[in-house]
Amino acid sequence: MAELGNPKNTIEVLQKYNFHFAKKFGQNFLIDTHVLDKIVRAAEITKEDYVLEIGPGIGTLTQYLCESAKHVFAVEIDDNLIPILQDTLSAYDNVTVIHNDVLKVDMNELVQTKCEGKPVKIVANLPYYITTPILMGLFEAHVPMKSVTVMVQKEVAERMQAGPGSKDYGALSLAVQFYADPYIVANVPPNCFMPRPNVGSAVIRLTLHDEPPIVVKDEKLMFDLIRASFNQRRKTLVNGLHNAGGFGFNKEELAKNLVSIGLSENVRGETLTLAQFAALADALKA
């Protein structure tokens, strides 16, 4: 079986099937064996592991995963890639290609019925235009996962790791850190892909917490507050929340709740920690 991490083999497959990259699916195929090795090593895949891959493309990373995992489930939306995957993965009996939009697949059902109910490891070279919806969909559905090791746009990886007060800190930072511990494994330049993207990329590993780092009475309310506070970054938190609809409180009540948890009524949302957003959500809930 031709190893697709080799650019020459990738080009041969694309020509054989007269494949054209679809801009709407954000397709950039990896053509660097060192990076592929790094991803699989960072994900710590063993023969006990069920792996879920999102957007396998022509099967480049999938081949590597099949070599290491017990079974790989690869979810691909593009009709034109299905016959290619059947060809490039024909040597492996431990892979299932699911032809669907990942945002429409019931991941919890997949884990329960096909993975003996064991937590899966997510490994993917994610389409950059839907990175956040994919990750948030997995987290919010509480899909049983051990870790998520993904290639994303470099600045998105930096946002996931960012702390309070920094320019990269935002709703995504807080959401990722509520569910997982983020660690940037490697930065990946554009020349490792075909076609070359216009942005730098990074491999990031998110190790799921056994227990959330903070306890909050109403998770949804907390994330609604977080989103509202970052929608208007330069405003005070009271104004941001008030403009978002006030969550059933007027400005004075919002300010009073902030003071009750030890914060200034003029505080800006981007300076709050996860614990402070949780405390505010609990105060408003009460």
What pLDDT is attached to residue 85? 97
Count of CA atoms in the C-beta half-sphere (13 A) of 170: 16
What residue segments make up the domains of the chain, in order of their start?
7-208, 219-285
In whole numbers, what is the pLDDT of the chain averaged over residues? 93
- Token pair for 152: 């994303």
Fold of the 219-285 domain? Helicase, Ruva Protein; domain 3 (1.10.8)
Mean pLDDT of 161-189: 95
Q: What is the pLDDT of residues 268-278, one digit of tens each?
A: 999 999 999 99
Q: What is the pLDDT of residues 220-266, one digit of tens each?
A: 999 999 999 998 778 899 999 998 887 888 999 999 999 999 999 99
Question: pTM of the full predicted structure?
Answer: 0.92
Residues 6+ apart with CB under 8 A from 220: none
Interhelix angle 171-179/154-161, nearest 10 degrees? 70
Residue pair 88/63 in contact (Cβ under 8 Å)? The answer is yes
Interatomic CA distance for residues 232 and 147, integer angstroms: 32
- How would CATH label the architecture of 7-208? 3-Layer(aba) Sandwich (3.40)
